[in-house]
Structure 1
Amino acid sequence: MNKHATCKISRLSERESGVALVAVLAMLMSVSLLVLSMVIYSHLANYGVRNDAEILRSRYVAEGAMNRVIWLVAADNYVYNTTDLVNFDYSEYEEDEERFLPDGRLRELDYYGVTVKYRIENGMGGISIDSNIDTALTQLTRVRAVDEEDMSEALTIFKNRYRDYIDTDDNVNVDGMEHEDYEELDEYTQLPRNENIYYREELWFIPDGIKFFPPDRNGRLTMINPLGMGGNRRSKPDLLQAGYSLLTNYSNLSHEDAMETLRVIREFKNAPAGEIPILGEELDPLLLANLRNYYTIANSGCYRITIEKASAGNTPSVRMDATLFDPGIETDAEFSIPFYDWLIY
């Protein structure tokens, strides 16, 4: 074999070795990526399982804490029977004598080693639509409907669509909506109900419903009372739950008076224990007198209890809402509490 043939064979072997090395490196990289993806997937699955476990645990804690708070509220009513929250002086009670009043303040409860955060509010703090939704719409838009022609027209359209939603026939009111109209929005819809609504959130199923009945910071329709509570039990919304829209539209406050009212409410709710102001002393007397014409600031005997957090540290937690009347503490063994809301979200 001559010298040139030997060199050609040597170069050919080097090329084949290089190709084999590239193939091996590519295979190693593929295997490494596969192992890395499996490790990442394992961590994600572990995180998901741990997250689900924490959520489930917080649900048990929230339910137990909810039951405890219900009976603490009932006991507070039984012992003190406090009705006036305007002139209530928290400083008259020692730090170790906690009161459970519907003031919307964020409280804490030790539930078997878990610090649970919760609020107690007036369970009938919104407007009732049990008897007539027209009254509620008028109250919520009385200023806007006068100032804005488009709002007045939209209000009339919404009322007609609401009537179509609850009536039992298929006749369409002027600018109203029946099943075929809802099908154009969603072909699988079963709307309208064609009878009285069961849940207040159904108002959002009607186009423009969220425009007239906006949600609160938690996405709940708390400006409307739960259905079935009765429209004649209390006609005024709760001042401590009033927002800017309600203050300026329902009670026709100026921007300045509305902002001042919200400031006083915010400072009242956020004040640390031992420094809680008396509401009646913080509000201007004339402003307070005007607010009393439209709102209640009293213990109605109906409560919405919200468990804001029921887990330790930064772990995830459910939230829980319950609305009920004071069950009392002297009941027979077969007594059960009727709830108007019991939500976990």
Structure 2
Amino acid sequence: MAAVRTKSAPAAKPASRTAAKTASKPTLSRDQEIAAYREMLLIRRFEEKAGQMYGMGLIGGFCHLYIGQEAVVVGMQMASKPGDQVITGYRDHGHMLATGMQANGVMAELTGRRGGYSRGKGGSMHMFSSEKHFYGGHGIVGAQVSLGTGLAFANRYRGNDNVSLTYFGDGAANQGQVYESFNMAALWKLPVIYVIENNRYAMGTAVSRASAQTDFSKRGLSFNIPGEQVDGMDIRETYAAGLRAMEWCRAGKGPYILEMQTYRYRGHSMSDPAKYRTKDEVQKMRTEHDPIEQVRERLLEVWKVSEDELKKIDSAVRDIVAESAEFATNDPEPDVSELWTDILK
């Protein structure tokens, strides 16, 4: 979703708690806020439906939901331009939708159907769309980092103006290949933004118990890669940080690290009861920092958008998700001959 550059938020004195909180924050236009609200809501509703379908046995294998982290990828996509690539790990449905991949195709792939983006053979963790410049979806922890660095190398080699957005989590940040990639990216000044989605728990272990350096924005210092910590629950912050990082990369200055401090509301995967944290902790994040509710409050209080208009957006999103579920349960399974396609000999 490309950035929409329109008028900034009004400079009038804040008249409410919500408006007061926006005073010192980067601002988005009314149109940008509405677009961000819709995109994040689509991801949220899609993931909720995917969770339901997994529980019904319609989705097999692993299923890692993105609920709570929506502002990260939506903000970065708002700051990007057509041609920029996206690559990520296995918590990837949100990234697919944010790049413009259709909900029908994503859900169909989750259920192993012919109309899925990998023709039903990849499932949750292995979907691709060259049309949308989305390169996975990778099940091996940290594997996408070296691949995303390779995408940036291709951009430099071809002399284009594209940037590789390479996402990985706080757990993957401790993998060795990440630092090999950092070294090459810095050495060759590759246009890659390393987006570390720090949702605080890796697979199930708190960051403080697994990482000697918990400030992930500093992970590139020994390679002279600049980094910053970003409130990954606030779409304004992720968008503004994305613009800064994009400008750095497009200017030929090399890689950039963004540590997005975010939070997942569900377990690591659908099979994880997440007993390593309290319900109060999760509820506090939902109540005080939910990325979608923050935008909703601003739309109502700052931009004076009506409840009816927001209900229409929600209804339209629910219709898209319902249609995707219907399509995914009625689409035929792949023909047996599909087993022999896309095989390298």
Same fold (TM over 0.5): no
Which one has the largest radius of gyration? 1
Greater RCO, CA 8 A, separation 6+: 1
- State the TM bucket, normalised to the shorter chain: under 0.3
TM-score (norm 1): 0.28
